[in-house]
């Protein structure tokens, strides 16, 4: 299997694979500017809840590198800028809070950059380990060699390691439990057809891209054994926010009696969120719908409804797989 790193820190620079160019072009960008990382998150050059959090942690360290006074003021400015990039991904706020909590424990700001960078690397390493454990824990959901349908992108491009849902799929393929994958194209930004297809191809896993609207047909023809997606925020009761279209799949799975699983690290669980009704759903710019890869497909003066995420109610979720275990309903995180 061909490996690649979507985000890494080396030689004093944050390096990331620009996901807006995939799969047609593999372009890596290096920067030591926290504002450039913030823009990368906003522009979806870096995306995926865990990857966003890791990137923000490195951005905090880089932003504080040359600060020589007013440390707390500078930290808050950088924190607030990064917190404003993507409101739904709880991993972003988890990572920022981890960095803030660490910063608040320091009695001296000598070698501050080195200390913050070490903490960011710890967050990155922790996610790599969590991804591996999610993959292992997910093996128990397969009772036969299966055809899996997945949505959006949940692999190396979305995390610091092998991924969440894709980690399970990759591990399942390696162990003879997954034989084929259908990847929802995932409108409007096509993370499935651009990114998940890119990763499946790199991993040598047989797959096909399907239009989002073809999922029901696939299920009705008994071509799908199991559906696994990721999550950007999970409420205490198990309600899960994920890429728009995930809720559709859960409803279809319920009708067709197909298991529907969520895979995410525990950092995606928002302990302050009782249920899905309190999850803040990001709305994207309408140009992402009216234009595709820079080509106008409809008029700009038309109104557009384009939420980035939807919330799947807990009663539609067969299980939630974290690095801790496979959680079954009723959920009470």
Residues classed as catalytic: 232
Alpha helices in the chain (DSSP H): 34-42, 49-63, 71-83, 90-105, 112-138, 165-174, 191, 197-203, 215-220, 246-256, 287-290
Distance between CA 119 and CA 99 in Å, rounded? 7
Phi, psi for residue 8 in degrees, rounded to 5: -160, 165
- Bond into 57 cis (ω within 30): no
Instruction: Please give the full DSSP string across 306-321, using - where no structure is assigned.
Output: -BSEEEE-GGG-SEEE
SS3 at position 265 = coil
Distance between CA 28 and CA 49 in Å, rounded? 20
Distance between CA 171 and CA 154 in Å, rounded? 13
């Amino acid at each position: 299997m061909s490996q690649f790193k979507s985000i890494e820190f080396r030689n004093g620079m944050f390096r990331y694979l620009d996901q807006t160019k995939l799969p047609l072009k593999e372009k890596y960008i290096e920067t030591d500017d926290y504002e450039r990382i913030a823009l990368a998150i906003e522009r979806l050059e870096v995306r995926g809840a865990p990857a966003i959090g890791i990137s923000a942690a490195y951005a905090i360290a880089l932003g504080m590198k040359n600060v020589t006074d007013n440390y707390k003021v500078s930290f808050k400015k950088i924190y607030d800028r990064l917190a404003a990039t993507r409101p739904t991904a709880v991993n972003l706020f988890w990572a920022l809070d981890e960095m803030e909590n660490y910063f608040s424990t320091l009695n001296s700001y000598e070698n501050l950059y080195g200390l913050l960078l070490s903490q960011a690397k710890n967050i990155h390493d922790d996610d790599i380990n969590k991804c591996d454990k999610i993959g292992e824990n997910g093996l128990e959901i397969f009772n036969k060699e299966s055809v899996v349908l997945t949505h959006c992108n949940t692999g190396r491009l979305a995390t610091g390691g092998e991924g969440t849902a894709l980690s399970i799929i990759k591990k399942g393929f390696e162990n003879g439990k997954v034989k084929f994958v259908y990847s929802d194209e995932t409108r409007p930004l096509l993370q499935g057809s651009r990114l998940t297809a890119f990763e499946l191809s790199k991993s040598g896993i047989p797959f096909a891209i399907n239009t989002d609207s073809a999922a029901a047909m696939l299920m009705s023809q008994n071509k799908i054994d199991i559906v696994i997606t990721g999550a950007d925020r999970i409420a205490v009761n198990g309600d899960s926010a994920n890429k728009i279209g995930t809720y559709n799949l859960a409803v279809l799975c319920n009708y067709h009696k197909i298991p529907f699983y969520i895979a995410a690290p525990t950092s995606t669980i928002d302990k302050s969120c009782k249920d899905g009704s309190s999850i803040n759903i990001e709305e994207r710019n309408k140009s992402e719908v009216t234009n595709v890869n820079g080509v106008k497909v409809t008029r700009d003066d038309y109104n557009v409804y384009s939420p980035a995420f939807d919330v799947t109610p807990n009663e539609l979720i067969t299980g939630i797989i974290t690095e801790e275990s496979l959680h079954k309903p009723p959920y009470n995180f």
